[in-house]
Amino acid sequence: MNNTHPQKRPIFKGLAAIALLVGLSGCQTTTSNIDMNNDQRGAVMGLDYRDFGGAASAMVDDLLASGALDKPGGGRYVLAISRVINDTMQKIDTDQLIKQMRVALLRSGKVVVTTAVGANGPEDRLAMDARELRNSAEFNQQTVAAKGQMIAPEYSLSGKILQKNVRDSKSKQSAIYSFQLSLTDINTGLAFWEGEEILGKSGSNKSVAW
């Protein structure tokens, strides 16, 4: 037996509709896409992708212009990525800088990057792990990577990102960022190129730079 009075059903339906509309309105957002090629948003005190992109582009241009990667007789140098230290107050991934540089250097035709050797071990561990398939009866040994096929790096790229904050006045502060990189000949240990890109920002003391 239905104990709900027939006249109350429209009221319940009306309340349910209102609750649904209120819920939907609370979920509405103002999200919009960012034009990554022409981001006109205001600068921030911390580092963002635009800062990494600008620093990477400037340092690649300087490295290529130096002639350090012009291999006698042509061809490409093999480059390994060493440690790039984050010495800022921000929790950032230094790959934001290095990856963009790697892409640009590869496209330049001057280097190839090894992912089998790195300061923290292989970037692509499978290149080494796949060699454990040798002598496995489950695999055609003619398809397994042979010994002596990996190419050792000739150069390594290392560096540091630093930050220094300065209080300019009671209401203003500056944040100075320094991107420093070195290209080292692994055979001799000599640095054949060193670059530094400095970025300065000024803003309110209320702005967060970390």
Burial 71-107, CB ≥16 within 10 A → b, else e: eeeeebbbbbbbebeeebeeebebebbbebbbebbee
CB contact set of 129 (below 8 Å; sequence gap of 6+):
none
pTM value? 0.74
Query: How many CB atoms are closer than 10 A to CB 175?
Result: 23
How many C-beta atoms lie closer than 10 Å to residue 206's C-beta? 8
Banded pLDDT at 134 (limits 50, 70, 90): very high
- Which whole number is the average pLDDT over 62-91? 94
Looking at residue 166, its pLDDT comes to 81
- The 10s digit of each residue's pLDDT in 5-26 is 555 555 656 555 565 555 555 5
pLDDT recorded at residue 89? 86
Identity of the highest mean pLDDT range in 20-34, 95-109, 123-137, 181-195: 181-195
23-57 residue pLDDT tens = 555 556 687 776 667 766 667 778 888 888 899 99
Domains of the chain: 44-204 (3.40.50)
